[in-house]
Copies of this chain bind each other. A is one copy, B any other.
């Protein structure tokens, strides 16, 4: 196994090295599409399993809609088609014949779903309608990077219809909170949440909210988004319902999604110079036992004790005994470190003599002897919980250290080009000012502040009166 690039010197190369050495994905025969290898796909299965439960707890039912969307259907919502059609893969032949109408591979499913909502929704008693699907998506990206940006990706997309704006607001916020809770509890991921400015919103949305994490290289990364779509799609797809007074109304829609990008997010937020560091709820293997021995006699004794330890823990935690004879302990330490396994248990003849096991935490690197009798399911569960807490705290501290505010363009540029991270600045609310800042620094507005700017505050770029506070960062 070769060494990883130094993340402090070449973060992009380090990212690719981690993926290759942790065996998460491989390149495919199709440009921009990756292969999810077993260890990488196991991360997605973990995410699906936990998030699906949370989605169902919101009263949302899983469904599956077709992959292919007729061009005429996509075209009905003007902003949406302008935003997405240029990114689409287009099917023009099927069954050996040229098609009379082109079919787009779904870049997202609002259009095909809401055309069907028109059949399903008639009365206020049909609302709210709340569905979700786990599906593959294709968007024709030119500059791709494994997990972070790929031509095809996997995601969940929730879609709901409501009788009132308030109900849609509530749903969009509940979905955002679901992501925030999931990010914290399952991925140990601190995020900032808030609304996007209009020029960064989803094509066709009334407003867009996002959860954004901060990578170790100081760039922001979107972890999940939730849109109140307003009534635009209802009008475009002619969805209506009779309210309690028998009056025809347009429902309000929401949609919200999170994707395999979360895998990339975990890497760039929690990874370190030794590779992945997986949050314990996500880790396919939570603890690995590495036996250490020289003679055959030592081998027999150590493997016996290791087997007993594994047996005592396997009902409670996901544990593996790495008894490969052809690999050295050093090789194994390195491999499980790069794969981010939270706990390593080393067991050698000296440990057996002392009736102990060496416990190595992946989060801090701490190595502590623990009496074998104390290495119980309860102790390991508590240790995993502490590792989760520590990963979260480390990422949170990093985010706090890398969140600043700037009152002038000069200060702003120094911060963005210096330590990076999030920078609060007053904004005049115009696309022109935001674009000028993007041109100069590559930083974009990630979310808007909920508080108004201080009295008299001026846009750092235009010098015009500020109407709101914006959180800027360079972003993935």
Residues of chain B lying within 8 A (CB to CB) of residue A68 = 30, 33, 89, 138, 152
Q: Is the Cβ of B38 less than 8 Å from the Cβ of A116?
A: no
Q: For the complex, what is the distance from the CA of A129 to the CA of B193, rounded to whole Å?
A: 43
CB of A90 within 8 A of CB of B93, answer yes
* B92 engages A35 (CB within 8 Å): no
The answer to whether A28 touches B94, judged by C-beta atoms less than 8 angstroms apart, is: no
Asked whether A92 lies within 8 Å of B92 as measured between CB atoms, the reply is yes
Alpha-carbon separation in the docked complex, A35 to B106 (Å): 14
Check B35–A62 contact: CB distance below 8 A.
no
- Of residues 100 through 118 on chain A, the ones whose CB sits less than 8 Å from some CB of chain B are 102-103, 105, 112, 115-116
A63, B35: Cβ atoms closer than 8 Å: yes
At the interface with chain B, which of A39-47, A382-390, A420-428, A459-467?
Answer: A39-47
Cα of A70 to Cα of B89 in the assembled complex, Å? 13
A36 interface neighbour in B38, B63, B105, Cβ under 8 Å: B63
Partner of A95, one of B42, B61, B86: B86
Q: A92-B90, A95-B140 are in contact. Are A41 and B64 (CB under 8 A)?
A: yes
Q: Is B61 touching A35 in the complex (CB atoms < 8 A)?
A: no
Interface pair B90/A94, CB less than 8 Å apart: yes
How far, in Å, is A128 (CB) from chain B's closest CB? Answer: 14
Q: How far is the CA of A112 from the CA of B140 in the complex (A)?
A: 19
Q: A103-B30, A140-B95 are in contact. Are A152 and B66 (CB under 8 A)?
A: yes
C-alpha spacing A152/B86, complex, angstroms:
24
Q: Are A28 and B116 in contact (CB under 8 A)?
A: yes
> Do residues A29 and B86 form an inter-chain contact, with CB atoms below 8 A?
no
Given contacts A63-B41, A90-B94, A91-B91, contact A70 B116 (CB under 8 A): no
The answer to the question of A26 belonging to the interface, with a C-beta cut-off of 8 Å to chain B, is: yes
> How far apart sit A95 and B82, CA to CA, in the bound complex (Å)?
13
In the assembled complex, the CB of A85 is this many whole angstroms from the nearest CB of chain B, namely 8
In the assembly, what is the distance between CA of A88 and CA of B94, in Å? 6
Contact A38 B61, CB 8 Å, known A90-B94, A92-B92: yes
**CB within 8 Å of B: which A152-206 residues:** 152, 154
Kindly state whether residue A65 has any CB partner on chain B within 8 Å: yes
Docked complex Cα distance between A47 and B190 (Å): 35
Chain B residue with minimal CB distance to A120? B26
CB-CB under 8 A from A221, the residues of chain B are: none
Q: Which residues of B contact A87 (CB under 8 A)?
A: 95
Q: Are A29 and B91 in contact (CB under 8 A)?
A: no
User: Can you report 20 A-B residue pairs in the complex whose CB atoms are below 8 A from each other?
Assistant: A28-B112, A29-B66, A33-B66, A34-B66, A35-B65, A38-B131, A41-B62, A45-B62, A67-B152, A68-B138, A85-B96, A88-B95, A89-B95, A90-B91, A90-B94, A92-B92, A94-B140, A95-B140, A95-B142, A105-B105
